[in-house]
Amino acid sequence: MRRGLYTADHEEFREVVAEFVRREVAPHLERWDEQRLIDRDVWLAAGEQGLLGLAAPEEHGGAALSDYRYRNVVQEELAKVFASSLASGFSLQDDIAIPYLTSLGTEEQKKRWLPGMAAGKLIGAIAMTEPGTGSDLRGIKTSGTRVDGGWLVNGSKTFITNGIQSDVVIVVVRTDPEGGSQGFSLLVVERDMPGFTRGRKLAKVGLHAQDTAELFFDDVFVPDSHVLGTVGGGFGQLVSHLPLERLSIAAHALALADAVLADTIEYTQQRVAFGQPIADFQNTRFELAELSTELDVTRAFVDRAVLAHGEDDLTVVDAAKAKWWATEVQNRVVDRCLQLHGGYGYMLEYPVARAFQDSRIQKIFGGTNEIMKQIIGRDLIGRK
């Protein structure tokens, strides 16, 4: 069936993205993995090509494109070269940090941070997770204590994407210990604020090039001008932005699984065993048929979620369904494609092996898939 998601404008944009990926991304992937860090130059190059800040206002350096299909094109083109680490970093910037600033920021805050982020000169991060919290955001202990002119922040965060290189960090802090869900606020911490330090660049199973870090806050003074949104409104602000984050994860899951399947189909036609290409064995064809069908069915739902977001109609529940299902399918597809590669699938020189490492986190971050089921299940039985 014809997909029908994109227009000619999207495909024209795809040509720009594909050329950027060919020139600025593909030649460097192996080196980025080895050095466990992505060069900042690629962020600047992406900014120059207009590939960052797609939804940011034009007056603040963005493209003012609320149509998520453009971001989806970026996801798909990065997935074609298995650049999951870079895709994750860009998603954090464009699907989480910039939308927070765009929707919650004052005019002064937007002028301060958005132009640099859209240009790739400033890298953003959001610091939610703590060593003892995980998906339980109500367990956050990092505190913000009221002082004259601002807040003193104390505590620590972990598993923070873009944590090492970030210049602008949106930190979730508890500003009222007795406030319950109304006791959290979002404070923006900048790179050079006294008392703000980075801990380890964490060694991970996959996404080796993506910097994931521990962050520490020791009496960091954050002025009132750096409060994002309303004091005490942090929890609600987080919840309102989760659908886009989860759509982003689902979109990458589908794009990466598509790329792995395409690579596997080519491999099975070239690899010879028992005197014939392994694609000629019935088992191989059945496997490929099942995987292709799963992806087509998944694509129908994720594409509809992309359109729903553009119509401002993507619900928390629908986003949870997209994230849960697409990441589960992604992991099944990658695992079965690795099996079709045989022993070569376990070698990191083959894209499917790297995809196997990179895919596992998809079922964990953005809210674990168990949490996604909880969200869906509560909705079904009428619980908040």
Residues noted as catalytic:
245
Question: Rg of the chain over CA atoms, in angstroms?
Answer: 21
C-alpha 199: how far from chain center: 22
Length of the chain: 384
Cross-strand bridge partners of residue 169: 125, 189
C-alpha 141: how far from chain center: 24
- Residue 120 tokens read as 């790739």
Cβ density class 303-315: b for 16+ within 10 Å, e for less: bebbebbeeeebe
Query: Which residues 6+ apart lie within 8 Å of 152 measured at CB?
Result: 144, 145, 219, 220, 221, 222
Q: Are 86 and 120 in contact (CB under 8 A)?
A: no
Cross-strand bridge partners of residue 146: 151
Whole-angstrom distance, CA of residue 350 vs CA of residue 338: 9
Least Cα distance to 251 among 116, 91, 15 occurs for 91
What single DSSP character describes residue 312?
T
Query: Which residues 6+ apart lie within 8 Å of 144 measured at CB?
Result: 151, 152, 153, 173, 174, 175, 185, 187, 222
Contacts 24+ apart (CB under 8 A), 79-83: 79/252, 79/255, 79/256, 79/258, 79/259, 80/18, 80/21, 80/255, 80/259, 81/21, 81/25, 81/26, 81/29, 82/29, 82/256, 82/259, 82/351, 82/354, 82/355, 82/358, 83/21, 83/25, 83/26, 83/29
Whole-angstrom distance, CA of residue 43 vs CA of residue 121: 7
Enclosing H/E stretch for 340: helix 316-341
